[in-house]
Structure 1
């Protein structure tokens, strides 16, 4: 009885998820994730601070 009671919510959620996926237009989460990664990379490339030659010299003095 314990295993049925503890897994009831999991089985109910799985059945509900299958019903929703078959009857409604659910977005593809993997596609949304990949789009977000592309946008983040684009943002980083365009708005990242550029290193100057003075920054490189400062790093060398700190590491010595």
Structure 2
């Protein structure tokens, strides 16, 4: 009974997800994460200490 219940739950969840994605304005998570990572890298570069790119630990 557990296998059947889990399979039905999976199918209902998949069907609801497809319906919501087609009928509502759902953001593209992949694009959103790429833009956020780009902004985070820009912020990191702006607060980075100036230097020659070599740390003292790697001499």
Deviations 1:24-63 (CA, angstroms, capped at 9, x unpaired): 11111111011011001101100122348xxx6xx46xx8
1:22 has 2:22 as partner: yes
Alpha-carbon RMSD across the aligned residues, in angstroms, is 2.2
Larger-gyration structure (1/2): 1
Could you list the runs of 5+ residues in structure 1 that have no partner in the other structure? none
Higher helix residue share: 1
TM-score normalised by structure 1 residue count: 0.70
Could you list the runs of 5+ residues in structure 2 that have no partner in the other structure? none
TM-score normalised by structure 2 residue count: 0.74
